[in-house]
Amino acid sequence: MNAHDSEKVSGTLLEHGYTQVATPEDAGLVLYNTCSIRDKAEQKVFNRLQNFKRAGNGKIFGVLGCVAQQEGEKIFDRAPHVSLVCGSASYPRFGEMLVQLEAGARRVTGLSLDTEETFDTPFTRRDNPHRAYITIIEGCDKSCAYCVVPFTRGPERSRTSESVMAEARRLAGAGYSEIQLLGQNVNSYRDPSPAGWNFAALLERVAAVTGIRRVRYTTSHPRDFGKDIVEAMDRHQAICDHVHLPVQSGSTRVLRSMERQYTRDEYMRRIEWLKSAGRRYSLTTDIIVGFPGETEQDFEQTLDLLDQVQYDSLFSFKYSPRPNTAALQMSDVVPDEEKQRRLVTLQEKQRAIQIRRNAEMIGDIREVLVEGRHQSLGQWIGRTSDNRTLNFTHTAGDGDSLVGRYLPVRVTRSGPNSLVGESVTVV
């Protein structure tokens, strides 16, 4: 979401006559887009701002994103060389704020969360010429006990299906072949226009746009992940063979204390829908270890969940407290050494699962979208529909760039995090 927000902000700047330079040193205006999902984010932001100040020399500085929303006007006090503090819910007013900065204002803020608007702009400057993000929903109405997002990105608000579809068609017309639909919780998408589409309906319509070969979406919330989404995926080959369904814990007791709004059994029902679907979907997840009150038995239930689901990959984190969250007040904190031990145990288990699952792919022929080249290895970098990295050699016409093409590749080797293969000619 943040990367795509930066693309939209950059596009707005270009539209206002700005040009992009290669380094902050060359810039007259430096906007720092921030994320507070990781620990000590504010401190990192202030350290970076201090470095910017040294390279200052009449430049205008702005802080955008979650840390801007969280710290608000305090940023002006701690970093007086900053002139703009703006959270993501205020980006629809970004053009206005730019005008104020240009007029010499030196404490411009966009901090209101009271909005029903989404940041729709035709001026996005996209970083990748083949794969494009489309935001379909912003903010979040859930209240997971560890999460700052409802406080930094505001309430849930969906874009109209008409505006999403127009953007998808425009992108296809411009040669983009892969679309990634974005939102904090894409599954709770509700078209605010009379058409009233839900997420599954939108997903199907985007997948049917001529020229779009791949559609991905992130992130899902198990509570709102309905069977209609699996059915839509089964009907449209363009929807990629991958579902990221964050579970966070394998223990219903911990899920309750996290306020995740589903039980382990309810989560597993969704996994069963996916495992018994018409295609084989790769499954990935997010897990937090050491949430306050997590016992050894709770943690073992998470390990057991890994055995049951057999994820293709996962993102794992040690719990760390965040400002403005309910978990901040919870006692029964798990000591850091214990969190670290659980994290290592979890990651070792998952690594063994990935080694086994990736080895099962050897001999398969997979279609990849070519994303780049490893010059030193003499390999092209490809991504499969199920979101695996498949690096490969290609002998025919090796001097030509393959980036952006879709090619069949036979898997010849596997590791815990990626596959290696060679391109094949399908007769």
- Positions of E strands within 242-325: 242-244, 282-289, 313-318
Q: Is 150 in the site for ligand SF4 (CB under 6 A)?
A: yes
Q: Between residues 221 and 394, which has the closer beta carbon with respect to ligand SF4?
A: 221
Residue 200 CB contacts under 8 Å (≥ 6 apart), including other chains? 226, 228, 229, 231, 232
Contact present, 387 and 284 (Cβ < 8 Å): yes
| Stretch binding ligand SF4 (CB under 6 A), from 65-73, 142-150, 371-379, 391-399 | 142-150
Q: Is 98 in the site for ligand SF4 (CB under 6 A)?
A: no
Q: Is 184 in the site for ligand SF4 (CB under 6 A)?
A: yes
Q: CB neighbours (10 Å) of residue 212? A: 21
Cα 122 from Cα 10, distance rounded (Å): 12
User: What's CA 389's distance to the chain center, in Å?
Assistant: 17
In the complex, what is the shortest distance from the CB of residue 261 to ligand SF4, in angstroms, rounded to a whole number?
9
- H helix or E strand, kind and range, residue 377: none
Size of site (CB under 6 A) for ligand SF4? 10
Q: How many degrees, rounded to 5, is the angle at CA 37 between CA 52 and CA 320?
A: 115
Cα 219 from Cα 183, distance rounded (Å): 6
Q: Is 221 in the site for ligand SF4 (CB under 6 A)?
A: yes
Q: Say if residue 45 is exposed, middle or buried (CB neighbours under 10 Å; 0-12, 13-18, 19+).
A: buried
- Please identify which residue in 41, 79, 144, 240 interacts with ligand SF4, judged by CB under 6 A: 144
What type of residue sits at position 143?
S
| Stretch binding ligand SF4 (CB under 6 A), from 81-89, 137-145, 206-214, 394-402 | 137-145
- Token pair for residue 273? 């829908």
Q: Is 30 in the site for ligand SF4 (CB under 6 A)?
A: no
Q: Between residues 225 and 281, which has the closer beta carbon with respect to ligand SF4?
A: 225
Q: Is 353 in the site for ligand SF4 (CB under 6 A)?
A: no
Q: Between residues 156 and 312, which has the closer beta carbon with respect to ligand SF4?
A: 156
In the complex, what is the shortest distance from the CB of residue 8 to ligand SF4, in angstroms, rounded to a whole number?
19
Write the DSSP symbol of residue 129. S
Q: Is 242 in the site for ligand SF4 (CB under 6 A)?
A: no
Q: Is 154 in the site for ligand SF4 (CB under 6 A)?
A: no
Q: Is 1 in the site for ligand SF4 (CB under 6 A)?
A: no
Contact present, 66 and 152 (Cβ < 8 Å): yes
Q: Is 183 in the site for ligand SF4 (CB under 6 A)?
A: no
List helix spans (H) across 38-160.
41-54, 66-71, 74-78, 94-102, 149-152
- H helix or E strand, kind and range, residue 163: helix 161-173
In the complex, what is the shortest distance from the CB of residue 276 to ligand SF4, in angstroms, rounded to a whole number?
26
Q: Is 147 in the site for ligand SF4 (CB under 6 A)?
A: yes
Cα 45 from Cα 385, distance rounded (Å): 36
| Stretch binding ligand SF4 (CB under 6 A), from 81-89, 143-151, 194-202, 334-342 | 143-151
Q: Is 384 in the site for ligand SF4 (CB under 6 A)?
A: no
| Stretch binding ligand SF4 (CB under 6 A), from 62-70, 72-80, 146-154, 384-392 | 146-154
Q: Is 149 in the site for ligand SF4 (CB under 6 A)?
A: yes
Q: Which residues bind ligand SF4 (CB under 6 A)?
A: 140, 142-144, 147, 149-150, 184-185, 221
